[in-house]
């Protein structure tokens, strides 16, 4: 089992990737990465919305025996998509992504190793149906790292197809 510091470091790696993210073409930023998929803007907004939601609505309530009400995934995903297409610039959105991930990393570092492994419930469930693991801060952040990697790969593959490599 990985320790808290290692997991947070892996979660923080996304910041290094996003800080070097540059696109010269705003249209590419808004273009779906494939048919029926989100654009880069929507993916980044999606990640930012989940970081912000976890920071503000979940993390403050994690304690032994907690049963935390969790927003339906699609509801938050829809809000993030609308926000991404609202006219916000790529630079503004990237700055917001950086802001919320940085704040979340800071708050995670404030947690003790014990707090990092406290089991809790989300909407009455003790086990995450996606990972099969108990809900703990540790497991949630590890799942988020996998989620980040999934979206990073999607973006990288899309940019390869239009010959706009990440710098």
Per-residue confidence (pLDDT) for residue 120, from 0 to 100: 96
Question: Is the pLDDT score of 166 beyond 70?
Answer: no
Confidence at 162, pLDDT banded by 50, 70, 90: confident
Residue 118 located in a structural domain: yes
pLDDT in tens, 68-96: 999 999 999 999 999 999 999 999 999 99
Question: From CA 64, how far away is CA 118, in angstroms rounded?
Answer: 6
pLDDT at 45: 98
What is residue 119's predicted lDDT score, i.e. its pLDDT? Answer: 96
The DSSP annotation for 59-126 comes to: GGG--TT-EE----HHHHHHHHHHHHTTT--HHHHHHHHHHHHHHHHHHHHHS-HHHHT---EETTBS
- Helices 73-84 and 40-53: crossing angle in degrees, nearest 10, is 130
Helix axes 4-19, 90-110, angle to 10 degrees: 170
Asked, for residue 37, whether it belongs to a domain, the answer is yes
The predicted-structure confidence for 100-155, as pLDDT tens digits, reads as follows: 999 999 999 999 999 999 999 999 999 998 889 999 999 999 999 999 999 999 99
80 within domain boundaries: yes
Residue 166 lies in a domain: no
- The pLDDT value recorded for residue 57 is 96
Q: Are 51 and 166 in contact (CB under 8 A)?
A: no
Q: Averaged over 39-57, what is the pLDDT?
A: 97
Residue 161 has pLDDT above 90, yes or no: no
Q: Which residues lie across from 134 on neighbouring strands? A: 127
Q: How many domains does the chain have?
A: 1
Say which CATH number the domain at 84 has: 1.20.120.450
In a domain, 106, yes or no: yes
pLDDT digits (tens, 9 = 90+) for 1-39: 688 999 999 999 999 999 887 666 667 899 999 999 999
Residue 167 located in a structural domain: no
Query: Is a pLDDT exceeding 80 seen at residue 164?
Result: no
Burial of 27 per CB tally in 10 Å (0-12, 13-18, 19+): exposed
d(CA 103, CA 99): 6
């Amino acid at each position: 089992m990985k320790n808290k510091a290692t997991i947070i470091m892996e979660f923080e790696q996304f910041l290094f990737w996003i800080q070097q993210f540059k696109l010269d073409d705003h249209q590419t930023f808004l273009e779906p990465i494939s048919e029926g998929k989100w654009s880069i803007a929507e993916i980044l907004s999606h990640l930012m919305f989940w970081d912000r939601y976890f920071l503000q609505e979940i993390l403050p309530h994690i304690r032994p025996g907690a049963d935390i009400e969790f927003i339906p995934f699609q509801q938050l995903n829809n809000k993030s998509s609308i926000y991404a297409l609202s006219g916000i610039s790529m630079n503004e959105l990237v700055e917001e992504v950086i802001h919320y991930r940085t704040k979340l990393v800071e708050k995670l570092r404030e947690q003790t190793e014990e707090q990092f492994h406290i089991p809790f419930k989300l909407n009455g469930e003790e086990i995450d149906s996606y990972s099969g693991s108990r809900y703990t801060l540790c497991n949630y952040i590890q799942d988020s790292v996998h989620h980040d990697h999934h979206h990073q790969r999607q973006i990288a593959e899309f940019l390869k197809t239009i010959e706009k490599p990440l710098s």
